[in-house]
Amino acid sequence: MTAILIFAAVAGLGACASPGEVLMARVGNAVLDQDDPQLVAEGAPAYLLLVDGLIADDPENVELLLAGARLYGAYASAFTSEPARVQSMTRVARRYAERALCAFSDVACSLRDAPYDAMAAPLSKFKAKPSHTNLLYGYAVAWLGWIQARSSNWTAIAELPKVKLVLERVAKLDPEHDNGGVQLYLGVLESLIPAVSGGKPEVARAYFQAAIDISVGRNLTAKVMYAEYFARPRFDRALHDRLLKEVLAADPHVSGLTLMNTLAQGRARDLLASADKYF
């Protein structure tokens, strides 16, 4: 479910950024513009150790903690298939994200253990500031990765409505956050609920379309997830194939999106190859 967001957590650094934050941002920019996923997969473990070391040296640095959460979560999602390792890495990602919440403020920290009905009050304290939306979004993404790694655990699945509430707050504060990524996640979450169980397919469709429109179609992951999580479950073969063929016909080389687009094209090929059997 989680998009490939390696190193994206430290975007928008100000002049007061620490050397560690600047280093992660520069490395992140280089990785996001890489069109060789195997190279990234082979090199990423070194950056896991790097971010661990930077955090150990500056344990209350919110930006570094978010970078660690994103890096561990993204590596688990994109480059690891062993269930035990995926669970371990998403556990680290969620722990870093929770530490970022608590390093930010006591109000943010209260989200960690708040029941669903009590989340509205602390969420209302977050405003339309990059520091606020980046924190909430990074926490939600790490939380989703943790849940996905435990998809057979109903206790974990039961936390999805809480994650959705956090993402809805981000979308309200900054509808275009992460180049439309927040809309994409909400589209996936809305798609998981069948219409017979109260799901709203047209709401899900609107989220996916918003993600595509915000990136002007350049974020190919949006179309792949639209096909996989919306068109497939509804057996809409025409929409499914159209979206995936558009992905394969596109140039993946877009600044800040090249790695994600390259991975998206690989997933698009797999989905099209299995379409006859699925439909």
Q: Which domain holds residue 259?
A: 175-279
Residue scoring higher pLDDT (21 or 58): 58
| pLDDT, tens digit (0-9, with 9 covering 90-100), for 26-54 | 777 777 788 898 888 888 888 899 999 99
Residue 130 to residue 177: CA distance in whole angstroms: 9
The answer to whether residue 197 scores a pLDDT higher than 80 is no
Kindly report the CATH number assigned to the domain that includes residue 260.
1.25.40.920
Domain assignment present for 170: no
Same domain, residue pair 122 and 37: yes
When pLDDT is averaged across residues 149-156 and rounded to a whole number, the result is: 92
**How many structural domains are present in the chain?**
2
Residue 278 to residue 271: CA distance in whole angstroms: 9
Q: Is the distance from CB of 180 to CB of 212 less than 8 angstroms?
A: yes
Q: Is the distance from CB of 244 to CB of 278 less than 8 angstroms?
A: no
Same domain, residue pair 14 and 87: yes
Same domain, residue pair 206 and 269: yes
Same domain, residue pair 4 and 104: yes
Same domain, residue pair 89 and 200: no
Show which of 165, 194, 215 is a domain's final residue. 165
Same domain, residue pair 133 and 201: no
Same domain, residue pair 161 and 233: no
Residue scoring higher pLDDT (196 or 55): 55
* Helix 62-79, helix 37-57: angle, nearest 10: 150
Domain assignment present for 128: yes
| pLDDT, tens digit (0-9, with 9 covering 90-100), for 47-87 | 899 999 999 999 999 989 998 998 898 888 888 889 999 99
